[in-house]
């Protein structure tokens, strides 16, 4: 019987990835559909994807599937044949990375979750099938030309900070479950306006659009395939990009460049920079933005204190960091702005 989970250390798997000579394609996809037995479906996926040498992260729940994976180029067609053999996934759009070195994942993990995106929704009347209208890149650009259009970024602060659409409103939280009610609160009084929700690959903004309709908003849209698909479409159709900067991605790359605009700043010196990294102190591991000069000065650490610990044994590093709370280990300067109203944001931006 085939093993249905990995038994090799992460260090060895990373080394194997670096030594691979085959080219890999990084893709993401999701679909909301009913899965009666998620555990059985999970095992079925793992068994077949392992044979195709697929790496990545897949979540399975009663409400559907959410995947970010890399596939060997020579197995890509076989992968599509397998995926499309699953009836609810037949013909599903695959978001292909636009800035990809093929080293995004080094192991396959398929996990059963309560939901494919944690939303905190417990209202039995909420219906994912009643969702907003899809917009493609061309329609997105057209809607953005209308000054009355409201664009809402349904990603976390650290994603928004390095890249976002022009005019996009940030919902200042690092959890999707908190962003949903915050978005409703921010947009009160704009129930009849055109509202576009967007996110990385489409999964969060699709659910957000359904939630906004559930809460009484009438003209709700969401960007089909998210930023990843938008970037592909503007390239294929030679359209102007209304998205500026980098698209943060949840794999080893930590970002793919959409335009050359650098709209973020180093969290240590303030220079223009949009390179995310994790603190080299394993007892800290804070996700933050660091320029090349500060990386050299602090040896990849987020602070002088962390720099002092990196040559110590790992257990000693963790002991020193014990009791220091970084929240989700993400640098976030947006949390000082709790539940701002749309009118307050527009005033701040001079609109």
Active-site annotation, residues = 199
> What sign does the CA torsion over 233, 289, 28, 76 have?
positive
Tell me the torsion sign for CA atoms 13, 18, 19, 23: positive
Exposure of 348 by Cβ count < 10 A (0-12 exposed, 13-18 middle, 19+ buried)? exposed
Tokens of 250: 């949840």
Q: Are 245 and 274 in contact (CB under 8 A)?
A: yes
Nearest Cα neighbor of 142 from 34, 239, 270, 287 is 239
* Bridge partners for 197 per DSSP: 152, 222
User: Where does 193-325 have alpha helices with state H?
Assistant: 203-214, 226-236, 292-297, 304-309, 314-321
From the list 201, 10, 223, the residue with the least C-alpha distance to 137 is: 223
Asked if residues 255 and 246 have their Cβ atoms less than 8 Å apart, the reply is yes
User: Distance (Å, rounded) from C-alpha 64 to C-alpha 31?
Assistant: 6
Residue 193 — φ and ψ, nearest 5°?
A: -85, 160
């Amino acid at each position: 019987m085939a093993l249905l989970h990995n038994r090799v250390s992460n260090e060895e798997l990373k080394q194997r990835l670096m030594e691979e000579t085959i080219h890999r394609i990084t893709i993401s996809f999701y679909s909301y559909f009913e899965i009666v037995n998620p555990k059985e479906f999970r095992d079925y996926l793992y068994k077949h994807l392992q044979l195709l040498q697929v790496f990545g992260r897949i979540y399975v729940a009663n409400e559907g599937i959410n995947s970010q994976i890399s596939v060997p180029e020579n197995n890509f067609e076989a992968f599509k044949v397998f995926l499309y053999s699953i009836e609810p996934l037949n013909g599903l759009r695959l978001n292909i990375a636009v800035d990809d070195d093929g080293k995004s994942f080094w192991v396959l993990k398929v996990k059963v979750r309560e939901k494919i995106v944690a939303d905190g929704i417990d209202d039995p009347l909420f219906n994912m099938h009643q969702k907003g209208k899809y917009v493609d890149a061309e329609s997105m650009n057209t809607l953005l030309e209308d000054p009355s259009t409201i664009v809402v970024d349904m990603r976390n602060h650290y994603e928004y900070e390095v890249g976002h659409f022009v005019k996009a409103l940030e919902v200042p939280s690092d959890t999707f479950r908190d962003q949903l009610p915050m978005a409703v609160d921010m947009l009160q009084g704009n129930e009849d306006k055109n509202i576009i929700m967007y996110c990385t690959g489409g999964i969060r903004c699709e659910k957000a659009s359904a939630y906004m309709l559930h809460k009484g908003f009438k003209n709700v849209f969401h960007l089909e395939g998210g930023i990843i698909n938008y970037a592909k479409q503007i390239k294929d159709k030679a359209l102007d990009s209304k998205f500026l900067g980098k698209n943060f991605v949840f794999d080893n790359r930590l970002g793919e460049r959409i335009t050359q605009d650098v709209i973020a700043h180093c969290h240590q010196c303030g220079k223009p920079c949009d390179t995310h990294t994790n603190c080299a102190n394993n007892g800290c591991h804070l996700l933050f933005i660091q320029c090349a000069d500060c990386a050299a000065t602090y040896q990849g650490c987020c602070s002088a204190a962390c720099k002092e610990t990196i040559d110590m044994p790992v257990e000693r590093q963790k002991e020193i960091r014990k009791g220091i709370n970084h929240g989700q280990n993400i640098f976030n300067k947006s949390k000082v702005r709790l539940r701002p109203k749309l009118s307050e944001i527009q005033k701040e931006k001079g609109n």
